[in-house]
């Protein structure tokens, strides 16, 4: 159970037989999908996404290596690393959504939710395909660097709190921004722990 929603381990797919190490790997029980869809308020989500929360992730990113020296990596590896970093910086929104995937109701009366659902899925698919190609260019040994962001093989679901979940000692609900901060503290891999 996660905020009153039954969860299960992620299912293997042809594209992702396993999750990237360190990232959460769970999905909601299919019978609880309606609960998750109801928790997403279109206007609140619109206001939250308008703040472009993925820029915080990008702005606080570590850029130095801890376990390797650039001079020891070789020209080809350095070029692949630079290409990877540029690619991730250009696609930080897709990375953010992949690590904080909110279940949206595609049949919602909210035009914003329907539009966001389609846009986010297209963005994710195009970036995911590019990631597969680019990851092959990098040495496996380099992936342990905190400053080198990873794109999770599977979507990491963000389970929104229900309206009945209030701040201690008050009747106030947690905003989406507050929920993200709590989630980042609890599951730091979503934040790309080097950030």
Give burial (CB, 10 Å; 0-12/13-18/19+) of 51: exposed
Distance CA 133, CA 169 (A): 50
Nearest residue to 48 via CA among 190, 141, 181: 181
3-state secondary structure of 92: helix
pTM of the model: 0.86
Distance CA 188, CA 194 (A): 9
Alpha carbon distance, N-terminus to C-terminus of the chain:
28
CA dihedral 122, 126, 128, 131 (to 10 degrees): -160
Query: From first to last of its 195 residues, what are the pLDDT tens digits of the chain?
Result: 888 899 999 888 877 888 888 888 998 888 988 898 899 988 999 999 999 999 887 777 777 888 888 889 889 888 888 899 899 889 999 999 999 999 998 888 889 999 999 999 999 999 998 998 888 887 777 887 877 888 899 999 999 999 889 999 999 999 999 999 999 888 877 777 544
Phi, psi of 74 (to 5 degrees): 90, 150
């Amino acid at each position: 159970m996660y905020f009153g929603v039954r969860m299960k381990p992620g299912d293997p797919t042809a594209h992702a037989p396993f999750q990237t190490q360190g990232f959460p790997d769970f999905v909601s029980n299919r019978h609880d999908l309606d609960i998750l869809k109801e928790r997403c308020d279109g206007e609140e989500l619109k206001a939250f996404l308008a703040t472009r929360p993925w820029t915080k992730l990008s702005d606080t990113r570590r850029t130095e290596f801890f376990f390797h020296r650039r001079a020891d990596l070789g020209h080809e590896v350095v070029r692949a690393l630079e290409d990877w970093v540029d690619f991730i910086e250009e696609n930080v929104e897709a990375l953010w959504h992949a690590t904080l995937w909110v279940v949206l109701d595609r049949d919602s009366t909210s035009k914003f939710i329907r539009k966001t659902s389609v846009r986010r899925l297209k963005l994710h698919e195009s970036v995911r395909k590019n990631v597969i190609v680019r990851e092959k260019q990098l040495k496996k040994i380099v992936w342990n660097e905190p400053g080198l962001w990873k794109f999770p093989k599977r979507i990491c679901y963000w389970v929104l709190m229900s309206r009945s979940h209030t701040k201690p000692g008050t009747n106030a609900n947690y905003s989406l921004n507050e929920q993200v901060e709590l989630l980042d503290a609890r599951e730091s891999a979503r934040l790309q722990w080097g950030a």
